[in-house]
Amino acid sequence: MCGLLFFLLSFNDLSAQTSSFNGIDMGMHSLMRLSEAESRSISPENFTGEKGKGGMAIQGTGANAARDLGQGWKVSPSVHIKA
């Protein structure tokens, strides 16, 4: 009986290791696992969150101070929100 219980518990652990990790169910138990998930940042520099489009703004709150830097630098690190 003890051998059967050990076998079933071992099989359960093995099946958990072979399943893919989606990165959604996070907790202390899964910190060491990696996933194939991708994330994107929505910011004043990249409103759409497109890959490789950060630093593309040419006008914004810092445009005057960064006018000589050009595209590819932090020109618009913030936005004005109407009250």
If one counts the domains in the chain, the total is 1
Burial 10-46 (b: 16+ CB within 10 A, else e): eeeeeeeeeeeeeeeeeeeeeeeeeeeeeeeeebbbb
Evaluate whether residue 74 is within a structural domain. Answer: yes
Burial (0-12, 13-18, 19+ Cβ within 10 Å), 57? buried
Residue reference for tokens 């914004």: 60
CB 2 within 8 A of CB 8: no
Query: What pLDDT band is residue 10 in, cutting at 50, 70 and 90?
Result: low
Residue 63's domain spans which residues? Answer: 43-78
pLDDT tens digits, 50-59: 888 877 777 7
Q: What's the pTM value of the predicted model, to 2 decimals?
A: 0.42
Evaluate whether residue 52 is within a structural domain. Answer: yes
